[in-house]
Amino acid sequence: MELERELRDLDVEWPPTPELRLVLEAPQRRRRSRRPLYAAIALVLVALAAAFAVPQSRGAILRFLHLGGETIHFVDTLPPAEERPLGAGLGPVVPLAQARALVPGLPLPPLEEQPPLHQSGNVISLVFRHEGAPVLLSALSQDGSFLKKLVGGQTNAEWVQIFPDSWGLWLSGQPHVFFFPREPARLAGNTLVWTRGDYTFRLEGPTLSRDAALKLARSLKYPGKG
Amino acid sequence: MLRAQRGDARAYEELVRPHQEIAFRVAYVITRNAADAEDAVQDALVKAWRALGRFRAGEPLRPWLLRIAANEARNRRRSAGRRERLTLRAAASPGEAAPSPEEALLATSDRERLLDALEALPDAAREVLACRYLLDLSEDETAGALDVRVGTVKSRSARALEKLREAYGTGA
C-alpha cells in the first residue's frame, strides 16, 4: 500500500482551472417543432447574460455559447492569428455525392455552375463569388466536429432569424478568430452562423453585409426544401 | 436541481460550479493539454445542460458530469491526434515536520521521479491511477469517467500499480 499512499500524497501542481462563464441556450429536450420558441428564450438568456457581464481585464473567456456545431467564445483578448485567403486549408475537393453522404443537409448556392466542394473532417466547404466578392460557405452536421471561434469586445454579435425554424448569429465589425479543423487560427471577417434542422452553416465574406448574408442564406438550395 | 431542470441557467451554474475544477482535471488527465481540457469541460457543461431533463433528481451530479467531461476529453484527444506529456509537477513539500533543506529536496525529487514514472505508463494505466490516486475519485466515479466497469477499474489499477512499482523501483 506504500505506493498508493505516495501517489495520494503527491500534492500535484495542476494547471489552473479556467473560470467558465456559461451562456446557455434553453435545454433542447422537447420536440423540434418548438425550436423557434427556445431560440427566442436563448435570445433572452443571452441578452440577460450580456446585461450582467462585467468587463474584465484578464485574458480569459468571458462567456461562450454553442450554436449547433459551432462554439463561440467571447473573450477580452484575442490570440494572435493571421489573415489567410478564404479558400485556404479547406481540404481536398470531393464529389457532391461524397459531400452529401457526410452532410446530407448541405445547401448549394443558386449558381448555374457549382463551385468545387472541399472536405476537411466532417465539414464541407465551398468558395464562390457573390455580388463580385468571394464568400465561404461551410456546412456540418451537429453531431460532427465542432468549429470554434473567438470573439473580442470589438466584434458585434447579433441574433438573427433566417427562417421561421432557423436562428443564427451575425458577427460583424472587428475580425474574429476562427479555428477550422486541423488548421491554424485565422482572422475571419463578417460571418453569419446559423442552424437548421440537424445542420450548422457558416457564411463568411469580407465585404458581406448583414442583409446580403441573410438574403444569401435564404436563397441557398437546401436539400428537400426546394 | 429542479430550478435548473426547468431552464434556470443561473441555478445550473450554481450546481456545476463546485465540480468545474475536478472536471477540468479529469479532462486534463485524458487530453494532457490544458486548452483541450478547457474546451472539453465547456462542451461538457453545455451538453450536460442540454441533457439535464434526463438527469434523475436525487442522484449525485458529480459522477454524471465527470462522465460527460471525460467523454468530451476523449473526443478532443482523438480529433487532436497529438501526443503530449502530462506536464504535472509535484508541489513543494507540504507542511510536514520541517525537514532539512536536503531532505526536502530529496523528497521533492522522489515525488518528481514518481510523477515521471506515472507519466511514462501507457494511457489506460496512467489514467486509472491518476483518477484513483491523484484526483481521489471513487472506483465508481473512475469507472464512469473512463467508461469501463468497476471491476475493470480494480484490475487495471492493480496492474498499473505493478507497472509503476517496476518503473519507480520501489519494493513497496
Average pLDDT over chain A, rounded to whole? 71
Of the two residues A32 and B59, the one the predictor is more confident about is B59
A88: pLDDT strictly greater than 70: yes
Domain spans, chain B? 2-80, 101-168
Average the pLDDT over A181-188 and give the result.
Answer: 66
Of B9, B20, B46, the CB nearest to A66: B46
pLDDT value for A29: 40
Of B88, B129, B133, the CB nearest to A14: B88
Which residue bears the cell 451530479?
B61
Please give the Cα distance from A188 to A205 (Å, whole number): 8
Q: How many CA atoms lie within 13 A of A215 on its CB side?
A: 7
Domain at B2-80: CATH architecture: Orthogonal Bundle (1.10)
Average the pLDDT over B39-55 and give the result.
Answer: 81
In total, chain A counts a number of residues equal to: 226
* Cβ-based contacts of B86 with chain A (< 8 Å): none
What band does A216 get if pLDDT is binned at 50, 70 and 90?
A: very high
A143: pLDDT strictly greater than 80: no
pLDDT cut 90: percent of chain B above it: 32
* Cβ-based contacts of A49 with chain B (< 8 Å): 9
B30: pLDDT strictly greater than 80: yes
Burial of B139 (0-12, 13-18, 19+ CB in 10 A): middle
Residue of A6, A38, A72 to mutate, interface with B, max B Cβ within 10 Å: A6
Please give the Cα distance from A160 to A166 (Å, whole number): 9
pLDDT cut 90: percent of chain A above it: 15
Cβ distance of A22 and B54 shorter than 8 Å: no
Please give the Cα distance from A113 to A205 (Å, whole number): 20
Average the pLDDT over B21-26 and give the result.
Answer: 93
**Residue in A198, A12, A214, A209 with CA at minimum distance from that of residue A106:** A198
Q: Which residue in chain A has the smallest CA separation from B112?
A: A10
Average pLDDT over chain B, rounded to whole? 80
Which residue bears the cell 439535464?
B52
pLDDT value for B156: 94
Cβ distance of B39 and A71 shorter than 8 Å: yes
What band does A132 get if pLDDT is binned at 50, 70 and 90?
A: confident
B68-119 residue pLDDT tens: 999 999 988 876 655 555 666 655 554 445 555 555 555 667 778 888 888 8
Bridge pairing between strands A155-163 and B89-90: unpaired
Please give the Cα distance from B114 to B107 (Å, whole number): 11
Of the two residues B162 and A17, the one the predictor is more confident about is B162
Q: What stretches of B8-149 show up as alpha helix (H) in DSSP?
A: 9-16, 20-31, 34-50, 61-80, 101-119, 123-129, 139-146
| Identical fold between B2-80 and B101-168 | no
B144-158 residue pLDDT tens: 999 999 999 999 999
SS3 A117: strand
Cβ distance of B79 and A41 shorter than 8 Å: no
Q: Per CATH, which fold does B101-168 belong to?
A: Arc Repressor Mutant, subunit A (1.10.10)
B170: pLDDT strictly greater than 80: no
Task: Tell me whether 0.95 is exceeded by the ipTM.
Answer: no
pLDDT value for B127: 93
Look up the pTM and report it.
Answer: 0.51
* Cβ-based contacts of B170 with chain A (< 8 Å): 2-3, 6
The amino acid sitting at A120 is: S
Rg (CA), chain B: 18
Residues 6 or more apart in contact with residue A123 via CB below 8 angstroms: A91, A103, A138, A139, A140, A144, A145, A147, A180, A181
Q: Which residue in chain A has the smallest CA separation from B92?
A: A11
Neighbours of A160 (CB within 10 A): 17
pLDDT value for B88: 63
pLDDT value for A35: 43
Whether A139 contacts A221, CB under 8 Å: no
- Give helix then strand counts, H and E, for chain A: 4, 14
pLDDT value for B99: 54
**Residue in A151, A160, A122 with CA at minimum distance from that of residue A138:** A122
Q: Which residue in chain B has the smallest CA separation from A28?
A: B50
A37-59 residue pLDDT tens: 343 333 333 333 333 333 332 23
Cβ distance of B134 and A12 shorter than 8 Å: yes
Of the two residues A182 and B65, the one the predictor is more confident about is B65
Q: What stretches of A89-152 show up as alpha helix (H) in DSSP?
A: 96-102
B3-14 residue pLDDT tens: 777 666 777 877
Q: Mean pLDDT lowest for which of A31-35, A145-149, A158-162, B67-71?
A: A31-35
**Residue in A197, A205, A193, A222 with CA at minimum distance from that of residue A66:** A193
Whether A153 contacts A54, CB under 8 Å: no
How many contacts does A have with B, using Cβ atoms within 8 A?
110
Please give the Cα distance from A219 to B97 (Å, whole number): 74
Collect all residues from A whose CB is shorter than 8 A from any CB in B: 1-4, 6-8, 10-15, 17-18, 20, 22-29, 41, 45, 49, 61, 64-66, 71, 73, 121, 145-146, 148, 181
